[in-house]
A and B are shown apart, each in its own frame.
Chain A
Amino acid sequence: MARTFEFHGGVYPPERKQRSLVPVRHATLPSHVVLSLDQHAGRPARAIVAVGDRVSVGTPIARRDGMISADLHASISGTVTHSDALAITVEGDGHDTWQRLPPLDWRSVDTEPLLARLEQSGVVGLGGAGFPTHIKARLGEQQRIDTLVVNAAECEPYITADDLTLQGFAGDVLDGAQLIASLCDARQIVVGIEDNKPEAIQALEHAMATSQPLPVTLSVIATRYPSGGERQLIKALLDRDVPHQGLPADVGVLCHNPGTLLAALRAVRDGEPLVERLVTLTGDALADPGNRWVRIGTPIATLLEEAGLQRATLDQLIEGGPMMGTSLADTDGVIRKATNCLIAATRQELPPSPPESPCIRCGACEDVCPAHLLPQQLHWYARAKDDDKLAHYRLFDCIECNACSYVCPSHIPLVTDYRSAKTRLRHQRLEAAKAEHAKHRFEWRQARLAREEAQKQARRQARLAKQTSGQPTGAQSTSPQADLRSLRIAQTAAKAAVRKAEKNLARAAQQDPGESHEDLETQLATAQENLRAADAHLADARNASAPQETR
């Protein structure tokens, strides 16, 4: 077993995982699903089906829009009954007919088709952020990745989805890890798991023996929240500090959760797009808790009823874990790609927090902060809206794990304060950059017009070249060779600009998956237009000089 290291702080909340540690079942096929178009980081997908269209399980119903976005597929077979800017509703026909892509053997297929497959299958991070997996896999093109970390810590109380995924599919998860590792050229795979999952550990140990080609290391770490935080896990497993405003890739690491790896493998090996996921249904208000394979878009109410929801005792419904999850106001929502857990809690198990009292600077929050911040100072300055001080005390380094709120004897909703301060500051930045963003949009329009003009010109030239083939047309260009050369240089530069814009966007989106990155998407679109224009110019010039060259 590999050596492990310590990260700062952390808390030991009650685990409460036992109730959902029962054999996994398939949820009943829902009669209808609501597939929202924004189940991933970045821009919402764009619908490509219309009301009345027949779809099978796995039929693409929406395509990604921009770079950070993901495709979406029908998760049941039936008819599209509703489609708007937010979501597509599919009424099921009860047949569950599938539309799969051809299986691929990832060990013998090139990188590009594999990345394309991940993209077409709508695979996104299932741990919570919903970041498109193919974008993350491409990070290896820009940065040296040496280690793929399988984040199986699952440190939040209640949740057991990763645990049971590993108990049932350890081999497939490791295979998925090998697949992603090969895409980003990693040299080793490290699985990080908390020591409260003995059965998953056993399954992993068994599967590791045959996993190849890369060596797999299993690191069992002490159970301590939030060991599953990316930075904390990387510190605990590899003793590497992800730099501030950096990504794990900056220290040569890529992190994936087991569910994502399994979905990636299925997309490639079985040609199955992401249409279902494992969801933990738990809480004392459920008579029949456990983990279920649930189709994306399944109404939460149906799912909970099936698990024996007792509405009389239900006091709070939480999506995600009790530390970082969000309270749902009602049961009207649906399961999304990133929904890993639903907790139907009674008042006894999660009583309301007592009223807030003043901070006494006891420092309990500082001791548990895994980001090594001073939460109480942040609290002070967040309430006072002192932006300089908030920057000084590194508000944006906060990972919102809620360890501070958990230990606060004055019951101050610290993270809630930080979130609203962050929102306010982001809004300010956005306002400050408004003019610049408008300029970028203007540049994009200009680039698009120029590209259209260039393409028109190229088509005209191509026609002309065909008509007048055999006759010299070099009159319009005095030195076609020199012209071609400069155009080639321009095209190379445009390509580089696209790569740079892609890199900027991918980084920003990974750092802040929940935020909008419209401006960077616009800048990327501009670069892409410029590249297309450069392509057209080059084609144009080639056509013009082609007759001469053939002489």
Chain B
Amino acid sequence: MLHASHNDRRLLRPAPSTGSIMRWVIVATLPGLATMTFFFGLGVVSNVLLAAAFGLGFEALILRLRKRSLHPLNDSSALLTGVLLGASLPPASPWWLIGVGMLAAIVVAKQLYGGLGHNPFNPAMVGYALLLVSFPTYMTLWSPPQPLWPEGLWGQITGSASLAQIDGLSGATPLDAFKHKGAGVSAGDFWAGQPLPEGTLNAWRWVAVAWLAGGVLLLAKRLISWHIPVAMLGSMMVMATLLHGFEADRFASPWLHLFTGATLFGAFFIATDPVSAATSQRGKLIYAAGIGVLIMVIRTWGGYPDAVAFAVLLMNLGVPLLDLYTAPRPAGRPPAPAKERS
């Protein structure tokens, strides 16, 4: 029977759907999450599960309030935001911290702007930045490597553990430690002094490698293009190498920048969020290079040791302008169409 209308569209082959893209990105986070869990304990898993649950819950709530169908939950984008924010938080963050972060991410940054595809800012990074500014103590407490089921895990998650208790369990991240080593201490002396609990640097390196593996999977599945990771990591490395070459005692080595903190996670999983990134290839290169430069600037001269979230959010601000000025030249058009614009 024929029941086709004039514009009935058909599939020539089963195309990947938005939902399947989101789920593949979640799959690609698994190596990173597993490695983090291995080194930092099940607090990582609790973060991710809680954030994902909050994500889906808030998304459903808002869709209800907006009197929309719950169908968009199938696109798994809220789930992905939860996984990404959960992976960014210090392991075993208290449930209310995660809840506040996801509220900012899903409700404020995403749904209030119109839902998937309409958010100018990366939702997970909005949540992260809000928490970092509002609850700096909780957000800077990264534990050193831990057993799988660390002591006091339950207390931390439920929020019944006091700050002092948590403080006793946590330490500085390598970047944080280097930043606050003091101006008089040379880099060599600093590292020779075993500034971090044993295995910390090693753990961060392995985690970074695992995120890199997930990123390679994303590239191989063509879920992201090379432009953003390459431009972001490239600009960071160039800047870090120059600074380190200029004064090695003051500026951390490029390797420290690359393999600790959220650098690789950010390059493959955060900056590549298509919704809040620039769209043209040239725009992506500029956008990502800008993120890399901002990360280095904030890490070096700013108040925060990591800075991926702020760098991404700042470049999100520039995306409309980038999109306007990097529109590719349509076929058959003379070069430099920017002059035509009024």
Contact = CB atoms under 8 A, between A and B. Distances in A.
B18 A360 contact: yes
Contacts of A373: 328, 330
B118 A366 contact: no
A397 B331 contact: yes
Given A329-B2, A358-B115, A361-B274, A351 B11 contact: yes
A366 B332 contact: no
B180 interface: no
Contacts of A317: 2, 4
Interface string A383-407: 0000000001110010000000111
* B10, B14, B280, B284, most chain A CB atoms within 10 A: B10
B7 A413 contact: yes
Contacts of B7: 327, 413, 416
A211 interface: no
Interface in A452-482: none
A354 B323 contact: no
Contact of B279 (A241, A371, A374): A374
B239 interface: no
B13 A13 contact: yes
A491 interface: no
Contacts of B21: 360, 362, 409
B331 A330 contact: no
A242 B331 CA distance: 8
Contact of B280 (A354, A371, A374, A394): A374
B330 A408 contact: no
A235 B12 contact: no
Question: Interface SS of chain A: helix, strand, loop or mixed?
Answer: loop
A350 interface: yes
A14 B13 contact: yes
B67 interface: no
Contacts of B10: 316, 322, 345, 350-353
B182 to A, nearest CB: 44
B133 interface: no
Contact of B327 (A329, A361, A393, A416): A393
A461 to B, nearest CB: 54
Nearest to B324: A392
B328 A413 contact: no
B254 interface: no
A413 B275 contact: no
A326 interface: yes
Interface in A156-188: 157
Nearest to A398: B330
Interface centre among A316, A361, A392, A407 (most CB of B within 10 A): A361
Contact of A374 (B2, B6, B328): B328
B168 interface: no
Given A315-B2, A329-B2, A366 B333 contact: no
B55 to A, nearest CB: 16
Given A244-B332, A329-B6, A397-B332, A157 B327 contact: no
Interface in B111-165: 115-118
Contact of A360 (B275, B280, B330): B275
Contacts of A315: 1-4
A357 B13 contact: no
Interface string A485-516: 00000000000000000000000000000000
A40 B8 CA distance: 25
A392 B8 CA distance: 29
B330 A327 contact: no
Nearest to B118: A358
B72 interface: yes
A410 B333 CA distance: 29
Contacts of A393: 327
A106 interface: no
A73 B159 CA distance: 87
Interface string B54-78: 0000000000000000011001010
Given A350-B11, A351-B10, A394 B274 contact: no
A354 B334 CA distance: 39
A139 to B, nearest CB: 18
A376 interface: yes
Contacts of B71: 355
A231 B331 CA distance: 8
Contacts of B194: none
Contacts of A440: none
Interface string A413-436: 100100000000000000000000
25 contacts: A14-B13, A157-B12, A241-B331, A242-B332, A243-B332, A314-B1, A315-B3, A316-B10, A317-B2, A323-B12, A327-B6, A350-B10, A352-B9, A357-B19, A358-B117, A360-B117, A361-B117, A363-B225, A363-B274, A363-B280, A371-B331, A372-B329, A374-B323, A397-B330, A411-B15
Interface of B: 1-21, 71-72, 75, 77, 115-118, 225, 274-275, 277, 279-281, 284, 323, 327-334, 341
Given A317-B2, A392-B341, A393-B327, 10 more contacts: A8-B331, A231-B331, A242-B331, A315-B2, A326-B6, A329-B5, A350-B11, A351-B14, A362-B21, A367-B225
